Amino acid sequence: MSVSLNVDTIEHRTVKIFFVKDGLTTHEIHSKFIKVYRDYSHSFLRIKEWGAEFKNGRTSLEYEPLERSPKCATTPEVIEQVHDMLLDERWMKVRKIAETIGISKERVGYILHEELDMKKLCARWVPLSLPAD
């Protein structure tokens, strides 16, 4: 049997769904994969994840990318809101800003660094290029 270097192939998923429908446990499936595919075998965790999906009724063998919600937290209104909060209190923590506005800490960090071009200096948020005044 020819094994490609792509360890997440349709062939592997077909074998997994067969073993799941045959009633084998995750440990048994993993053992068989190691025996047949050796170095190209999937990890126990990957087999467990796919097994759970097949047990829950998944029938497709194709990779289905996750649907992600659009990054709507980086709107001009939210950026302005973050900026106003920092003008009021320069020592405000990212976590506090995120909780107050209702967005993730990662989005707040992106807004501070990329949109507002700020960095933390001595526990204060300041613009990277300070004006003369």
Claim to verify: residue 47 and residue 89 sit in the same structural domain: no
Please give the Cα distance from 97 to 83 (Å, whole number): 10
Please give the Cα distance from 83 to 29 (Å, whole number): 54
pLDDT tens, N- to C-terminus, the chain (133 residues):
444 445 567 888 888 888 988 999 989 988 988 888 887 777 888 888 888 888 888 888 777 665 555 567 788 999 999 999 988 888 888 999 999 998 989 999 999 988 998 887 776 777 777 666 6
Inside any domain, residue 42: yes
Into how many domains does the chain fold? 2
Residues contacting 54, CB < 8 A, separation 6+: 16, 17, 20, 21
Inside any domain, residue 66: no
The CA-CA-CA angle for residues 26, 31, 32, to 5°, reads 100
Token pair of 75 as six digits: 């709107």
Inside any domain, residue 111: yes
Inside any domain, residue 69: no
pTM: 0.43
Inside any domain, residue 47: yes
Structural domain range at position 51: 10-55
- With CA atoms as reference, report the closest residue to 84 among 100, 68, 105: 100
Claim to verify: residue 83 and residue 118 sit in the same structural domain: yes
Inside any domain, residue 3: no
